[in-house]
């Protein structure tokens, strides 16, 4: 696979999922009859938004800086890199979404602590992936 195809996929994946998770939290708090408490909402937003904003900012910055570059001349990436750089973001976002959704069904003890662990654990790996793809 060409590196540019992976960049395009991950760019759309991160930006769209960023807004879906934030929208989902807002929906749970304000539209669905307050399915998530105010404290959990505030803590989740203050935990999730910085990581997703950092990722989205790196992607948007890269796209803006390279607006005149041709996408045709891209290097091939190996299969290990492809698997790691797609599976880790997917597992991260599914984990965050699942934990938030689970909180609406039966409140999870130490919800914010678990969210912080997920963010910290995957944040390191996502940082490596984002840096390798979007920093020149």
Give the pLDDT of residue 79.
Answer: 95
Q: Which of 21, 22, 23, 6 is nearest to 59 (CA)?
A: 6
pLDDT-based confidence at 136, cuts 50/70/90? low
What region, left, alpha or beta, does residue 102 occupy, with left being phi > 0 and alpha being psi -120 to 50 degrees?
alpha
State the average pLDDT over residues 71-91: 90
Rounded to two decimals, the pTM is 0.83
What mean pLDDT value characterizes the chain? 88
Burial of 72 per CB tally in 10 Å (0-12, 13-18, 19+)? exposed
CA distance 82 to 80: 5
pLDDT tens digit sequence for 14-73: 889 888 999 999 998 888 777 888 888 898 899 888 888 888 888 889 889 988 877 777
Q: Which two tokens stand for residue 20?
A: 């879906």
CA distances from 12 to 4, 20, 60, 105 (A): 12, 12, 10, 29
- Reply yes or no on whether the pLDDT at 76 is more than 70: yes
Give the pLDDT of residue 80.
Answer: 96
């Amino acid at each position: 696979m060409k590196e540019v195809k992976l960049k395009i996929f991950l760019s759309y994946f991160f930006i769209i999922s960023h807004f879906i998770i934030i929208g989902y939290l807002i929906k749970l708090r304000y539209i669905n009859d307050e399915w998530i408490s105010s404290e959990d909402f505030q803590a989740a937003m203050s935990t999730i938004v910085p990581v997703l904003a950092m990722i989205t900012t790196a992607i948007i910055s890269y796209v803006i800086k390279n607006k005149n570059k041709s996408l045709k001349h891209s290097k091939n990436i190996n299969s290990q890199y492809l698997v790691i750089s797609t599976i880790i973001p997917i597992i991260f976002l599914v984990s965050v979404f699942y934990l938030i959704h689970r909180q609406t069904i039966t409140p999870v003890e130490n919800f914010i602590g678990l969210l912080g662990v997920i963010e910290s654990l995957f944040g390191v790996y996502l940082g490596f992936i984002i840096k390798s793809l979007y920093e020149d």
